[in-house]
Structure 1
Amino acid sequence: MSSSSGEYTEDDAKEDLNVLKEVPNKVVDAIDNATDEGVLDFLIREQQLDTVHDGERGIGQVRRAVLKSSVASKDLKRLVITRNDNTPRDVLVPDDVYRNAKTALKAGKPVVLYGPTGTGKTTFAKQLALEESIGYSLNTATPSWTAKDIIGGIGPKLSGHRLNYQTELGCVSEAIKRSKDFAIDYTVILDEITRADISKIFGPLYTAIENPQQELIETDDGEPITLNDDVNLICTMNMSDRTVNELDNAITRRFAMIEVDEYSDESRRELFEKFIDDHIEQVSDGGSPVFDESDLLELFEIDYKGINEGNDQTSQGPIMRFGPMHYEDIARFLGEATSDPDLYLDNPGEAVGQAFRTYIVPRLLNSAAFPQIERIENHYRALNDQFEEYNLKPAADLAKRELESEQRQMGSYEQ
């Protein structure tokens, strides 16, 4: 390679391209010695040599060099650190949710996005992260999480036949270190934190939020890890089985609590239309519509309202809170099911019932109490009668089997 430090040009890169495609160390040298971002654009945007040498994801030596480069733009750094990220760019949550979350982050507050399942919390968290940071990490909570998973601690390391101990960083500490190492804004997303014991896992973090200079942990190299303004913290919380009032006051005092729930009738209908347009071919090979779009939209609307608002005829209230994003899975299933003659192309009405049986009913049953299960069955029996062109009996039957199982456990089942 022909150029000295700080003088590696795009022409040099084009001349050395065959070597650069084979030797990752040469790519690192080229990035380190690049005269301007044009060199990096050629190597990374055009030739995608980070993918060639580092793989589809992860931060290998080539991406690390880009992140440390003084001539790389924020957009280029974001590109390499989120390479192949499939987060949709269209923000679908209500405008006030978007504005409130953005404002809270800009004010330096960590954010909790809470609401029922299917309201788009995780997707919105990633969209916020991509707007506010160069990179992000997504971590899904489990019941076994402890403060060590958040902050870090001492863990064993087996070296040969010897057992040593070393400092292991938690997901928040790791995000802080990555932000410092690359001098970039970074976001850590803690997804579905209600799966874990929030008070237990967040104890040291609460202290650090109120006292930013409080050291969270020290690495084995003696590097102190402390919260700073370059790191955003976004949590998501499924509130299907609890309310904000039932949360530990410690989290509501320290986090901005952003509810992701109420979609207006207009915005919800726009979502449903988008899902159908994006995933379902409206005309079959024979030229006739596979589905009547207005009928499918009506089904989505009546199903959603029946679950979330209840039945006006019986004066029964909502079955439970349930978000509109679930219906994208229905649309995607119907699109695939009716694009293949070996699947449901000849019987799209059957595909509808199977889609609800596969995606909607199991998610409802997952958090349903006994009285709700019976109402779920009745709800889909009524929909099956109302929409003669669709066979929703499989959805109702699945709820019925769950109801019978519950009755057997309670000893009240009758054949």
Structure 2
Amino acid sequence: MSSGKPRFKDYNRQEAEEYSGFILSGVAQATEFINKTDDPEAIRYLVEERNIDIDVPGSGTEIEKAILTSKTAPISVKQTVAQRNDDLGDIRVPETVRKNAETALAVGKPIVLYGPTGTGKTYFAKQLALKSCINYSISTATPSWTPADITGSIQPETEDGEIQYVRQAGCVSQGIQKANEYHDNWAVIIDEITRADISQVFGPLYTAIEDHDQAIFRDEEGNRLTLNDDVKLICTMNMSDRTVNELDNAITRRFAMVELSRYDDEQRAGLFDDWIGELGPDIDIDQDRLHDLFDSHHEGINSGTTTNGESGIMEFGPMHYVDVTRFLKSACEDGGPYEGEESVAVGQAFATYIAPRLLNSASLPQINQLATHYATLDDQFEAFDLTPAINLANREAEAEEREMGVGAYE
């Protein structure tokens, strides 16, 4: 002990507390202690009570890796380290949805979150991942996807004029590698799965879900990658793309199908209050009136209250409106591009964030209904100029009519 360096015997929490000054004074001793301890509370103490520095450029990554790859560190401690820069807020989906999704993941069942646009499927998928896993990776499906995007492929690469073949893991195989490396749960989020040909792309995955001994890929070292319960597979599906009845039975048999439907009035009002409240007192917008506009717009889209008594135009969730409030907060602040033009800013926000998302999946009759809806709202809410959204819908209707040849023979 003459050198001042302690001789660790048990590498436990007691020694972590007693010699924390030494342990935290350098990367080498910190990583040595973390790698050798068999006491999860020793690592918890260093991370949660002594706030071990894992953000030091270069050296900090060694400490982070030691904690994340430790077989001893509790998952909650690994989450603290891996997710320190993530902040997705509280889970706001209906309670039944949360319970069903969390239970499915807990019993090792992959899940599909489905519902209309704006119900927060991707956001909730990330929240689920951060709650149940160390961290997550996310990929968005495309029409060009093949099974290789899920499992992996062997790709040729040229180096010094010679062709070499390199194994490239797919999104699920990469998740398996992460789970194996960290010895704990890792989430793989596949967003908007119906953009791909599910029955063709998910084929190898179906086999792996039913048989955990079935390798879906081999890495560069030849190691077999098999799907296990440490990999939490979370998919999202927009109901405007396809209904559940139209899905391949193979996926509905193997995945828990969790629906995110429209939020009830109280839940939606709470979301609107939170987002509009972030505008603060310095933005010259009548917040109560803006809340009423959100409500009337949402109800008219979903229930037809401002669309001549019809049953609604389409299903549309509330999550899109947060983009409107963020736009207004930035655009109308002191020195912002719409300072003093708050009425105009509201209409521009709807034309930028809301109307295009509705028009993107609308049929010609629905486009015409949207134009009428915005015109009605513009009359009802004189404090806000919704002309940009009206014009956008009208132009879209004209373009659709030209595409269909409507009026060509009149």
Q: Which TM-score applies when normalising by structure 2? A: 0.88
- Can you list the C-alpha shifts for 1:15-74, whole angstroms capped at 9, x where unaligned? 5867x3xxx666544543569655775578866643223599xxx543221122355332
Q: Are the equivalent residues in 1 in contact too, given 2:300–2:307 (CA < 8 A)?
A: no
- Greater shift, 387-396 or 2-11, is seen at 2-11
Q: Structure 2 vs 1, CA of residues 234 and 39 (structure 1 numbering), >3 Å: closer, same or farther? A: closer
Structure 1 residue 97 corresponds to structure 2 residue 100: no
Q: Are the equivalent residues in 1 in contact too, given 2:118–2:316 (CA < 8 A)?
A: yes
Counterpart among 286, 295, 305 of residue 301 in structure 1: 295
Query: What is residue 405 of structure 1 aligned with on the other side?
Result: 399
- Can you list the C-alpha shifts for 1:181-229, whole angstroms capped at 9, x where unaligned? 2211121111111111111110011111122222212223232211212
Q: Are the equivalent residues in 1 in contact too, given 2:185–2:230 (CA < 8 A)?
A: yes
Structure 1 residue 371 corresponds to structure 2 residue 365: yes
In 1, the alpha carbon distance for the partners of 2:37 and 2:91 equals: 36
In 2, the alpha carbon distance for the partners of 1:317 and 1:407 equals: 24
Counterpart among 291, 297, 310 of residue 316 in structure 1: 310
Q: Structure 2 vs 1, CA of residues 50 and 351 (structure 1 numbering), >3 Å: closer, same or farther? A: same
Query: What is residue 151 of structure 1 aligned with on the other side?
Result: 151
In structure 2, what residue type is equivalent to 1:64? K
Structure 1 residue 32 corresponds to structure 2 residue 22: no
In 1, the alpha carbon distance for the partners of 2:51 and 2:306 equals: 60
Identity percentage of aligned residues: 47
In structure 2, what residue type is equivalent to 1:224? R
In structure 2, what residue type is equivalent to 1:230? D
In structure 2, what residue type is equivalent to 1:80? V
Query: What is residue 216 of structure 2 aligned with on the other side?
Result: 216
Query: What is residue 50 of structure 1 aligned with on the other side?
Result: 54
> What number of residue pairs does the alignment pair up?
400
Q: Are the equivalent residues in 2 in contact too, given 1:10–1:39 (CA < 8 A)?
A: no
Structure 1 residue 121 corresponds to structure 2 residue 121: yes
In 1, the alpha carbon distance for the partners of 2:217 and 2:321 equals: 43
Query: What is residue 348 of structure 2 aligned with on the other side?
Result: 354
Counterpart among 287, 292, 295 of residue 286 in structure 2: 292
Counterpart among 319, 325, 340 of residue 319 in structure 2: 325
Structure 1 residue 340 corresponds to structure 2 residue 334: yes
In structure 1, what residue type is equivalent to 2:85? N
- Can you list the C-alpha shifts for 1:258-304, whole angstroms capped at 9, x where unaligned? 11013111211111112112x211x23xxxx7233321111111100
- Greater shift, 403-412 or 356-365, is seen at 403-412
For residue 52 of structure 1, give the secondary structure of its aligned residue in structure 2. Answer: coil
Q: Are the equivalent residues in 2 in contact too, given 1:13–1:30 (CA < 8 A)?
A: no
In 2, the alpha carbon distance for the partners of 1:340 and 1:26 equals: 51
Query: What is residue 279 of structure 2 aligned with on the other side?
Result: 280
- Structure 1 residues without counterparts, runs of 5 or longer: none
Q: Structure 2 vs 1, CA of residues 313 and 28 (structure 1 numbering), >3 Å: closer, same or farther? A: closer
Structure 1 residue 72 corresponds to structure 2 residue 65: no
In 2, the alpha carbon distance for the partners of 1:85 and 1:373 equals: 38
In structure 1, what residue type is equivalent to 2:54? D
Note the C-alpha offset of 1:340. Answer: 2.1
In structure 2, what residue type is equivalent to 1:137? S
In structure 1, what residue type is equivalent to 2:173? S
Q: Are the equivalent residues in 1 in contact too, given 2:23–2:33 (CA < 8 A)?
A: no
In 2, the alpha carbon distance for the partners of 1:30 and 1:53 equals: 20
- Can you list the C-alpha shifts for 1:76-100, whole angstroms capped at 9, x where unaligned? 2112323412322x11111111111
In structure 2, what residue type is equivalent to 1:32? N
Q: Are the equivalent residues in 1 in contact too, given 2:307–2:372 (CA < 8 A)?
A: no
Q: Are the equivalent residues in 1 in contact too, given 2:194–2:241 (CA < 8 A)?
A: no
In structure 1, what residue type is equivalent to 2:102? K
Structure 1 residue 391 corresponds to structure 2 residue 394: no
In 2, the alpha carbon distance for the partners of 1:248 and 1:383 equals: 41
In 2, the alpha carbon distance for the partners of 1:70 and 1:210 equals: 27
In structure 1, what residue type is equivalent to 2:343? G
Q: Are the equivalent residues in 1 in contact too, given 2:23–2:30 (CA < 8 A)?
A: no
Query: What is residue 262 of structure 1 aligned with on the other side?
Result: 262
- Greater shift, 301-310 or 45-54, is seen at 45-54
For residue 202 of structure 2, give the secondary structure of its aligned residue in structure 1. Answer: helix
In structure 2, what residue type is equivalent to 1:248? D
RMSD: 2.7
In 1, the alpha carbon distance for the partners of 2:314 and 2:221 equals: 51
In 1, the alpha carbon distance for the partners of 2:6 and 2:188 equals: 39
- Greater shift, 289-298 or 36-45, is seen at 36-45
In structure 1, what residue type is equivalent to 2:87? N
For residue 53 of structure 1, give the secondary structure of its aligned residue in structure 2. Answer: coil
In structure 2, what residue type is equivalent to 1:78? Q
Q: Are the equivalent residues in 2 in contact too, given 1:2–1:12 (CA < 8 A)?
A: no
- Greater shift, 126-135 or 244-253, is seen at 126-135
In 2, the alpha carbon distance for the partners of 1:140 and 1:301 equals: 31
Superposed, 1:194-205 pairs within 5 Å as 194-205=194-205
For residue 56 of structure 2, give the secondary structure of its aligned residue in structure 1. Answer: helix
In 1, the alpha carbon distance for the partners of 2:355 and 2:45 equals: 48
Note the C-alpha offset of 1:173. Answer: 1.5
For residue 96 of structure 2, give the secondary structure of its aligned residue in structure 1. Answer: helix
